[in-house]
Chain A
Amino acid sequence: MKRDDINRILSAEDEITPSPAFLASVMDAVAREAATLPPLAFPWARMLPAILAVIAALVVAVVHGVVVLGTPTTGKLLESSIQVATLVERFQLHWVMLGVAAAIFSPVISPILMRERSYA
């Protein structure tokens, strides 16, 4: 079959007519869509104080770390380490950190595990 034949056949495409019920069917679907409540927006305004607090805590930690590392005496470093360890123990922060790490990594790891299983 030559290019002219292909061109002729593709140019002479028959038109089809949508069924009489098509318009009503689309409008039913549109009405259902319009009646569906939009998804809840993420509450960024409520999150803002927490985000600012986290940023402030990070800044304080970095500044404190720089000051401690800049101090020539090892006694100061040891003292700070003891302070941090005391805080961690008092507030059980290691469990909090483990929970946060699990929350962060589970969405990353789950799809990888699922993908490996689907190829198995």
Chain B
Amino acid sequence: MHEGGEDEAAVGRVMAGETAAFSGIVARWQGPLVNLAYRFCRDRGRAEDMAQEAFLRAFRRLGSWRRDAAFSTWLFALAINSYRDEMRRYRPEFVPIDDDVAMVESAEDAAGEAGRRVLVHKAVQSLPPRYRDPLVLFYFHEQDVAATARSLGLPEGTVKARLSRGRSLLESKLERRL
């Protein structure tokens, strides 16, 4: 049975009252959902908490999945909404990107690859959500604009425009430092 078929069968069983069948869905999608959460929060423990909340939300709303869209599309859209709510609720204390850079420079060489990676991820997190979310999803979906647009429920043109603006903001934040 193909992956989508397995999901559809599992959803049918859960809807019929067999709660344990939901474990198949969690087993199949735990990797992607935890990794996606990690790209938003950069904290492994918190990423698992966020993914758990997304799975719970999916369990509650399983009946709202219309079978005309792929289960994965529905699940990612739901997870992104959940992560966005979570990031809004427990927003880390605002730290300007320049402060982060100073911290990195004191801990390790900011010109090194590890330092650069930290800086870029911090810069992504510091973007407004309308630019941060498309960027995170675009790279999560291996640079597939259509998949990013489906996950966000936005037209592809809007996603392209936000990606472009997001990249420009990132460049302007980072070019001053390195």
Q: Which residues of A contact B (CB under 8 A)?
A: 1-3, 5-7, 9-11, 13, 15-19, 22-23, 25-27, 29-31, 33-34
We find that the number of chain B residues with CB closer than 8 angstroms to chain A is 37
Closest CB in chain A relative to B155 CB, distance in Å: 23
11 contacts across the A-B interface (CB closer than 8 A): A1-B119, A9-B120, A10-B135, A17-B31, A18-B34, A22-B30, A25-B48, A26-B30, A30-B22, A30-B59, A34-B59
B47's partner among A5, A6, A16 (CB-CB below 8 A) is: A16
CB neighbours of A5 from chain B (8 A): 116
For the residues of B in contact with A, the DSSP-based class is: helix
Closest to A35 in B: B19
Closest CB in chain B relative to A3 CB, distance in Å: 6
Total A-B Cβ pairs within 8 A: 81
Closest CB in chain B relative to A10 CB, distance in Å: 5
Evaluate contact between B22 and A22: CB separation under 8 angstroms.
no
Evaluate contact between B34 and A3: CB separation under 8 angstroms.
no
CB neighbours of B120 from chain A (8 A): 1, 6, 9-10
Evaluate contact between A34 and B19: CB separation under 8 angstroms.
yes
Evaluate contact between A3 and B30: CB separation under 8 angstroms.
no
Closest to B120 in A: A9
Evaluate contact between B135 and A29: CB separation under 8 angstroms.
no
Q: Does B117 have its Cβ within 8 Å of any Cβ on chain A?
A: yes
Q: Does B170 have its Cβ within 8 Å of any Cβ on chain A?
A: yes
Evaluate contact between A9 and B117: CB separation under 8 angstroms.
yes
CB neighbours of A7 from chain B (8 A): 167
Known pairs A2-B171, A23-B26, A27-B22; A16 contacts B35 (CB<8 A): yes
In the complex the two chains form, what is the Cα distance from A38 to B164 in whole Å?
45
Closest CB in chain A relative to B99 CB, distance in Å: 17
Closest CB in chain A relative to B20 CB, distance in Å: 8
CB neighbours of B34 from chain A (8 A): 16, 18, 22
CB neighbours of A13 from chain B (8 A): 39, 139-140
Evaluate contact between A29 and B116: CB separation under 8 angstroms.
no
Closest to A12 in B: B117
